[in-house]
Amino acid sequence: MENMGGKLKYKLSKWVVIVLVLSGMISFTGCYYDDEDNLYPQVGGCDTSNVTYSATISVIMSSNCNSCHSGSTPQGNLKTDNYTDLKTIADNGKLWGAVNHENGFSQMPKDRPKLSDCDLSKIRIWIDGGALNN
Partner 1 sequence: MMMRKIFILLIVPLLLSFHVKAQDDLMDLLGDQPKTTDYTYATFKTTRIINAQSVENPAEGVLMFMIQHRFGRINTGAYEFFGLDQATIRLGLEYGITKRLSIGVGRSSYEKTFDGFLKYKILRQSTGLSRMPVSLSGYFSTAITSLKWEDMGVENRTNYFSSRVSYTYQLLVARKFSNSISVQLIPSLIHKNLVPTGEDKNDIFSVGVGGRVKLTKRMSVNAEYFYTPTGQISYDFNQPLSIGLDIETGGHVFQLHFSNAQAFFDRGFITETNGKWWDGDIYFGFGISRVFTIVKPKTIAEQN
39 binds partner 1 (CB under 8 A): yes
Query: With respect to partner 1, which residue has the nearer C-beta, 82 or 106?
Result: 106
Give CA separation, 58 vs 33, 51, 79, in Å: 32, 11, 12
Q: How far apart are CA 21 and CA 32, in angstroms?
A: 21
114 binds partner 1 (CB under 8 A): yes
Query: With respect to partner 1, which residue has the nearer C-beta, 25 or 84?
Result: 25
Chain positions 40 to 99 lying near partner 1, rule: CB under 8 A, are 40, 42, 59-60, 63-64
Shortest distance, CB of residue 71 to partner 1, whole angstroms? 18
Report which of 124, 120, 126, 121 is spatially closest to residue 64, judged by C-alpha positions: 120
